[in-house]
């Protein structure tokens, strides 16, 4: 036991300088562009773990401008620009010589963003998975961590009022039926919406992090921290963790938390190369959200899927369940 702790400590000390080094970003400079095609290039983070560029949707000649985990075979997306408006083959994302950042179609039609982001000095794909457009003082003008889709990554924060939207189906990235919002009262809430009005129906999950009698005891930020925990930070500085048990060190796993198309907010872990023992999560606490039940399901290739189901609540005449699942 002592050996393994020392061993881990030694590993940590060896790995640490590389992490610090890898945090330095190679800038993407003015005049560079990427074109949507079957063998598009991409812009990688210094560690090579994240990439920014075009991903084809299914077997169609349509592409998403996206960020994905580049070192895993699935290339799982963690952000996408144009889910409601996929880009045809030949579309181009460019950082123009005069500092505009835009995605245009093959006939030069504007696809994203609206309005175009201008005054950009350089762009950077960071090792955190955040893609940043910066001005000449290196201040961010835009960052993917503040333009939420359906996924958050470790180190990402949701402020009051910020929300994630599910996609329509596993392979259709149009806006779907569910949202997650860090509400002004300080609670994390999951609820279905009407489309296209986005009218919010009754929440089917609400974190217990609002205190009407004492505002300081209410939630202030939702933080997905570097160890893979999802926490609500209260105004008084206290932390309420929604992921109730030790997850494996994030240096061994890629983590993401996604509001899945079926309305489940799910924490996923994927072993980095060589790290792959799924054991630790088997000790997961029986309580993640309020009075949950746990299903443990073994998957192919040593993957373990632990599903923690919260109270069932009635929404619009049908039962919807909220849970956090852990996939290794």
Using CB under 6 A as the criterion, which residues of the chain lie in contact with ligand NAG when the complex forms? 24-25, 27, 57, 62, 86, 121-122, 136, 138, 168, 172, 174, 208, 225-227, 229, 231, 239, 241, 244, 285, 287-288, 290
Q: What are φ and ψ of residue 251, in 5° steps?
A: -70, -15
CB of 47 or CB of 303, closer to ligand NAG: 47
Closest of 141, 60, 66 to residue 100, by C-alpha: 141
Q: Decide whether 216 or 299 has the Cβ nearer to ligand NAG.
A: 216
DSSP string, 67-91: EEETTSTT--EEEES-TTSPEETT-
The DSSP 8-state label assigned to residue 138 in this structure reads S
Q: How far is the CB of 308 from ligand NAG (least distance, A)?
A: 9
Smallest distance from the beta carbon of 301 to ligand NAG, in angstroms? 28
In terms of CB distance, is 12 or 302 closer to ligand NAG? Answer: 12
Q: Are the C-beta atoms of residues 297 and 307 closer than 8 Å to each other?
A: yes
Question: Quick one: 16 or 285, whose CB is closer to ligand NAG?
Answer: 285
Using alpha carbons, list the distances in angstroms from residue 154 to 181, 223, 237, 319. Answer: 17, 8, 19, 31
Cβ nearer to ligand NAG, comparing 22 with 303: 22
Shortest Cβ 120–ligand NAG spacing (Å): 10
Two structure tokens written together for 233: 């930070």
How far is it, in rounded angstroms, from Cα 42 to Cα 71?
13
Cβ at position 196, least distance to ligand NAG in Å: 10
Minimum distance from residue 215 beta carbon to ligand NAG (Å) = 13
Q: Are 45 and 107 in contact (CB under 8 A)?
A: no
Query: Smallest distance from the beta carbon of 167 to ligand NAG, in angstroms?
Result: 9
Residues contacting 227, CB < 8 A, separation 6+:
154, 247, 249, 250
Distance from CA of residue 269 to its chain's centroid?
A: 12
- What is the closest distance, in whole angstroms, from the C-beta atom of residue 289 to ligand NAG in the complex? 6
Alpha carbons 149 and 256: distance in angstroms, whole number? 12
Choose between 168 and 272: whose C-beta lies nearer to ligand NAG: 168
DSSP bridge partners of 95: 101
**Nearer to ligand NAG among residue 46 and residue 271 (C-beta):** 46
């Amino acid at each position: 036991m002592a050996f393994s702790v020392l061993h881990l400590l030694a590993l940590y000390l060896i790995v640490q300088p590389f992490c610090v080094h890898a945090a330095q970003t190679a800038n993407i400079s003015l005049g560079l562009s990427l074109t949507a095609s079957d063998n598009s290039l991409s812009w990688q983070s210094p560690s090579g773990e994240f990439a920014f560029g075009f991903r084809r949707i299914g077997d169609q000649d349509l592409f998403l401008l996206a960020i994905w985990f580049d070192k895993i075979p699935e290339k799982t997306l963690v952000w996408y620009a144009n889910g409601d408006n996929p880009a045809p083959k030949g579309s181009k994302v460019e950082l123009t010589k005069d500092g505009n950042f835009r995605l245009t179609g093959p006939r030069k039609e504007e696809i994203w963003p609206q309005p175009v982001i201008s005054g950009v000095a350089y762009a950077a794909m960071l090792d955190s998975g955040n893609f940043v457009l910066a001005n000449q003082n290196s201040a961010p003008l835009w960052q993917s961590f503040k333009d939420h889709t359906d996924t958050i990554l470790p180190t990402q924060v949701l402020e009051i009022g910020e929300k994630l939207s599910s996609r329509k189906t596993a392979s259709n990235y149009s806006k779907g039926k569910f949202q997650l919002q860090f509400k002004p009262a300080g609670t994390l809430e999951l609820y279905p919406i009407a489309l296209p009005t986005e009218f919010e129906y009754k929440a089917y999950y609400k974190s217990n992090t609002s205190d009407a009698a004492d505002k300081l005891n209410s939630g202030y930020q939702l933080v997905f921290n570097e160890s893979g925990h999802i926490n609500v930070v209260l105004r008084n500085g206290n932390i309420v963790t929604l992921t109730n048990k030790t997850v494996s060190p994030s240096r061994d796993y890629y983590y993401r938390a996604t509001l899945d198309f079926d309305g489940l907010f799910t924490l996923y872990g994927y072993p980095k190369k060589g790290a792959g023992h799924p054991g630790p999560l088997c000790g997961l606490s029986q309580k993640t959200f309020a009075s949950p039940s746990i299903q443990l399901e073994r998957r192919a290739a040593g993957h373990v899927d632990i599903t923690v189901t919260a109270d069932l609540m009635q929404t619009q005449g049908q039962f919807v369940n909220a849970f956090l699942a852990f996939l290794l």
